[in-house]
A and B are shown apart, each in its own frame.
Chain A
């Protein structure tokens, strides 16, 4: 037991539990105050190992603070603050609670020094973020949420199995770099757990499925945390693992191909998360100091510009109720500022000079060339062509310009969003440009010393040529790029249709069993019950009558209460179970310190 170390996640968890009890007047202040405290706490963290707890046979480490965990902790706390400003006017408490627990999970996983703590927070992320999907309240979001949960539970199981096996063989639960030159089965299992959260194909289909379906501000949170926590875990545990290089390059291109086909703006952005995380995964695979620095820098920049892009498209969805290109178009007169902010996000992700992507993405590409893996360099360059093509050109063009396909209702509703959403987008925009213009801000935070200069004449000329001639191609082939009102099948087809086939197959036996149980209940339960009821009714009428009236009323009241909790609303039950779980974790952490 050592002295108390205030974990940033603890602030968020306590804050999340208090949210429902804060009266309306103070709620907005509270919603900004807690993330601000978390950010301040991260700023004051000193390097070292803190929060060591002995639990049964395990040594849990809640606070491993070094340059690698700090850079991720910093940007996540900052994004949490911006995300809360963006969703400040949301009345639904569930979303705030879910978002905070989700961020707490993410920050907790980043500072975790052992596998058990990592796993605990890893699962907290999945189980809290799913509420950001369900909160949208559509029929589709319910199904998408369950798919999201199932996939993450499967990934979590692979991770857990790998951890237990790994610790059996090495005898230590510490989460340290693993042997990646001769990877064993447990290391591969851990890798599967990590790359599922990083959305590496074919384990990626949950991402566009979920992020396209979450609430307008839920996606702003989700796009920042899950994949980047996985990138952190890969950086920490599996840096230099060769197989990650081809996987990363493949996913960078995979996202680009699907983005061409996509008609929903937020799903398009989701596919570009896959593409961008591909750069980071490839960087981790390369494993050199420059590459790891690049992966961290790109994750940092990515959280801001992707958050900004999701805020822009989320604002369109929030104001108009539409996110599909075929239902939008020509909004520039109605939502001009949202257009400018989204464009800044698009220029940042495309790595335009003076924007954040330019100083981060190029580190990974340069690391590829330096390792003499030319195919890595050139294919990542090709992916960046696709990035500008979609996020820099297609998204702004088909929402704000292009053929005006919006219905009259959509056009009537369209206008720039409330002040807090604009302010959040403006702050993210300024940060994107600041990072791009003043490189020491980001470079000084990176895990290794940086000897890299993005602003050489050659690099600027190269980037400008690629991007501007991509724009030429875009305008020449505009007809071919017109969005179509379709969806694109992805790997989720296998479990969506597979699940359906299983149901079809299983329906008959299940139905037969259900009927049987129903009949049994009827004969063994209902008929005697009716009989008793009738008898006791007579008894009541003639014998007890008015004397027990009060009691009867009370029993009925309790019964109704009970019925309320038993409505079979799986979501409500899960919320409840999850709340209890969170309280237990909290109690455990606090008690363990004293």
Chain B
């Protein structure tokens, strides 16, 4: 099972994997600032540096917090809620 070996290999070096990922993220933002032609952007805000990075991160945080708040406001119930 080569696939399992590969996952094992990556899990054993989790710290390095995380570092590489962080490096890639930085490169991505850098490329967005330097390389990408923003001619096709739909709106003015998109010309801000790394706009979509911030959008993605904040969007994720907002979705999680708002949904969990909504869930704990009475939407989430124990599993046998509908049992008689």
Contact = CB atoms under 8 A, between A and B. Distances in A.
Interface of A: 256-258, 260-261, 332-333, 336-337, 340, 369, 374, 377, 381-382, 385-386, 389, 456-459, 461-470, 472-474, 477, 480-481, 484-489, 496, 500
A457 B37 contact: yes
A456 B41 CA distance: 11
B60 A458 contact: no
Among A369, A377, A382, max chain B CB count under 10 A is at A382
Given A473-B57, A487-B81, A461 B32 contact: yes
A261 B68 CA distance: 7
B82 interface: yes
A332 B35 CA distance: 38
Interface string B34-70: 0111111111001000101111110111011111101
A89 to B, nearest CB: 23
B57 A469 contact: yes
Contacts, number: 142
A488 B79 CA distance: 9
A465 B3 contact: no
Given A369-B42, A469-B57, A489-B77, A260 B29 contact: no
B64 A480 contact: yes
Given A456-B40, A486-B77, A462 B52 contact: yes
A133 B74 CA distance: 28
Contacts of A256: 63, 67
Contacts of B81: 487, 489
A463 B46 CA distance: 13
Most chain B CB inside 10 Å of its own CB: which residue of A256, A456, A462: A462
B1 interface: yes
B20 interface: no
Contacts of B3: 336-337, 340
A381 B55 contact: yes
A455 B4 CA distance: 33
Given A465-B53, A477-B61, A261 B75 contact: yes
A484 B40 CA distance: 43
A257 B28 contact: no
B68 A260 contact: yes
B52 A465 contact: yes
Contacts of B24: 468
A27 B66 CA distance: 51
A336 B42 contact: no
22 contacts: A256-B67, A260-B63, A333-B4, A333-B7, A336-B3, A385-B55, A385-B56, A385-B60, A386-B60, A461-B28, A465-B50, A469-B25, A469-B53, A469-B56, A469-B60, A470-B57, A472-B60, A486-B77, A486-B78, A486-B79, A487-B82, A489-B74
A477 B64 contact: yes
A496 B1 contact: no
Contacts of B77: 486-489
A169 to B, nearest CB: 41
B4 A332 contact: yes
A487 B76 contact: yes
A487 B79 contact: yes
A332 B7 contact: yes
Given A336-B4, A465-B28, 10 more contacts: A256-B63, A260-B68, A336-B3, A385-B55, A465-B52, A469-B57, A470-B59, A480-B64, A480-B65, A488-B76
